[in-house]
Amino acid sequence: MTLISSVPLVIGIGNTLRSDDGVGIWVARWLRGQVRDGVSVVEATGESGALLEAWKGAAAVILVDAVRSGSPPGTIHRLDAAAQPIRSIFLRSSSHDFGVGEAIELARALNQLPPRLIIYGIEGGNFGPGAELSAVVVQSAAEVANELLSQARGCTTKRPT
């Protein structure tokens, strides 16, 4: 019998050369050094085909990305993408040509959406050239990272019933 892991796949999305757009990568790198075996943490640029491939077969996925919705920088948006369509702030809100929101809706249309898909969008303020995150974005990234670490520590591997 195959074991099914309830430990999520965490995908940090972004571009570390575009200031706050690198927040998802920041969270992924921090988590990678903290989580125990069995928790998968990967980095991605947000390209739709790569995202669909990265979460292929995963039962639980958490995406972390920068967003631009007009909310104050550092605002944390959380959405259960498996339960409902993506709100407009996740559609073309990042610096990616074909945004994460569009990739998720494409996966939904193709019946390739993971059963559990949570998105953490951290509102960026500066998307210009540079490798540093804004201080307020770092604070929010640390809050999200600590929440995900807490969740990962509570995950277990179980057999299907």
Range list of H helices, 7-69: 23-32, 48-54
User: In angstroms, how far apart are the furthest CA atoms of the chain?
Assistant: 50
3-class secondary-structure state, position 100: helix
pLDDT for the residue 159: 29
The tokens for 96 are 């990616």
Domain count within the chain = 1
pLDDT for the residue 44: 93
pLDDT for the residue 160: 29
pLDDT for the residue 120: 95
Between CA 113 and CA 9 the distance in angstroms is 13
Give the domain extent around 111.
Answer: 4-158
Contact 19, 128 (CB under 8 A): yes
Cα dihedral 29→22→151→5 (10° resolution)? -70
Contact 56, 11 (CB under 8 A): no
User: For residue 54, what is the domain's CATH number?
Assistant: 3.40.50.1450
What pLDDT tens digit does each residue of the chain (161 aa) get?
233 345 589 999 999 999 999 999 999 999 988 876 667 999 998 888 889 899 998 999 999 999 988 999 999 999 999 888 876 555 444 444 567 888 888 899 999 999 999 999 999 999 999 999 999 999 999 999 999 988 776 654 332 22
Question: Which DSSP symbol is given to 112?
Answer: -
